Amino acid sequence: MILNCAGKPLDLTHPQVMGILNVTPDSFSDGGEFVATDAALAQARKMVADGAGIIDVGGESTRPGAVLVSVEEEIARVVPVIQAIRSELDIPISIDTSKPGVMRAAIKAGAGLINDVCALQVEGAMQAAVDCNVPVCLMHSQGNPQTMQNNPQYDDVVTDVIAFLLERAIACEQVGIARDLLILDPGFGFGKRATHNLLLMKHLSKLIELGLPVLVGVSRKSMIGNSLKVSVEERLAASLSLAAISVWQGAKIIRSHDVLETVQAIMMCDHVMKVKGIE
């Protein structure tokens, strides 16, 4: 399967790494590092050289307790970076936002995929996605970044997340977004306790059985810190382990801060999965 991201192909016949480029002052892992356009472009160059298949630009942190920013501020952060990347690098760009105004501005600037942690539930977002006519990643989240970790509850987290994402996919199809433009993300760390995250990872193949490409974002996340009691800076090895587990179950896109290492981990996994010979 090859996604057409506004004229830039994303080949999902093998796993791809989505490089994280946060142009925010307060993201949990790299806040403030790439606020300046020159710094963001230099990081984009590095991620391309390291093997990223797509770069995900975000202008508002979605970490637990993050401060909301205005549409105007978010556009001011992401559009110059998207334009700079598009002018120099031949790679698909995704926009990490839930705001329809930001979606439209980012796609106009050169982004080719909408990565929405609210699964197009914000008023106007669904219509913006229809009008932009680019692939969309629908993510599950319980609550919003300000409240999502305040006692999240599920009857059965795996069943509940799959049901939600299936409902959102159907809603997209009903308004005219083609099924082959949809990607699903279970939303690790978004309104989920440590056990919820581990169960979703263990049973990720059940989500993949829906037949749509699945994106997994676990890079440096608190599910690692909670399990291993390590700081954000000490979570690379575990992030790679979870990436490999995800790809082994069928995930097609791994969202990561550490592109080179993640590319190597998932491609090694892919080689083992695809090797043919005498068994």
Task: Of 141, 158, 224, 216, give the one whose Cα is nearest residue 183.
Answer: 216
Quote the tokens at residue 248. 């082994």
pLDDT band at 222 (very low <50, low <70, confident <90, very high): confident
| Amino acid code (one letter) for 234 | E
Check residue 177 and give its pLDDT: 96
- Would the pTM of this model clear 0.75, i.e. be above it? yes
Q: Which CATH number is correct for 14-271, 1.10.10.10, 2.40.128.30, 3.40.50.970, 3.20.20.20?
A: 3.20.20.20
SS (H, E, C) the chain: CEEEECCEEEECCCCEEEEEEECCCCCCCCCCCCCCHHHHHHHHHHHHHHCCCEEEEECCCCCCCCCCCCHHHHHHHHHHHHHHHHHHCCCCEEEECCCHHHHHHHHHHCCCEEEECCCCCCCCHHHHHHHHCCCEEEECCCCCCCCCCCCCCCCCHHHHHHHHHHHHHHHHHHCCCCHHHEEEECCCCCCCCHHHHHHHHHCHHHHHCCCCCEEEECCCCHHHHHHHCCCHHHCHHHHHHHHHHHHHHCCCEEEECCHHHHHHHHHHHHHHHHCCCCC
pLDDT band at 26 (very low <50, low <70, confident <90, very high): low
Instruction: Please say if the pLDDT value at position 175 is more than 60.
Output: yes
- Residue written as token pair 């501005």: 105
pLDDT band at 148 (very low <50, low <70, confident <90, very high): low
Instruction: Please say if the pLDDT value at position 93 is more than 90.
Output: yes
Spatial contact of 141 and 98, defined as CB atoms under 8 Å apart:
no
Quote the tokens at residue 4. 């057409």
**Residue range 100-121, pLDDT digits in tens:** 999 999 999 999 999 999 999 9
- Residue written as token pair 């120099």: 88
pLDDT band at 28 (very low <50, low <70, confident <90, very high): very low
On the CB side of 168, CA atoms within 13 Å amount to 29
Active site residues: 221, 255
| Amino acid code (one letter) for 212 | L
Average pLDDT for 22-39: 70
For the chain, what are the domain ranges?
A: 14-271
**Residue range 48-71, pLDDT digits in tens:** 999 999 999 999 877 666 678 899
Quote the tokens at residue 276. 């043919």
Q: How far is CA 258 from the centre of its chain?
A: 14
Check residue 25 and give its pLDDT: 76
> Could you tell me the CA-to-CA distances from 158 to 140, 175, 221, 253, 274 in Å, in that order?
11, 26, 19, 19, 27
The whole-angstrom separation of Cα 138 and Cα 185 is 6
**Residue range 237-250, pLDDT digits in tens:** 999 999 999 999 99
Instruction: Please say if the pLDDT value at position 198 is more than 90.
Output: yes
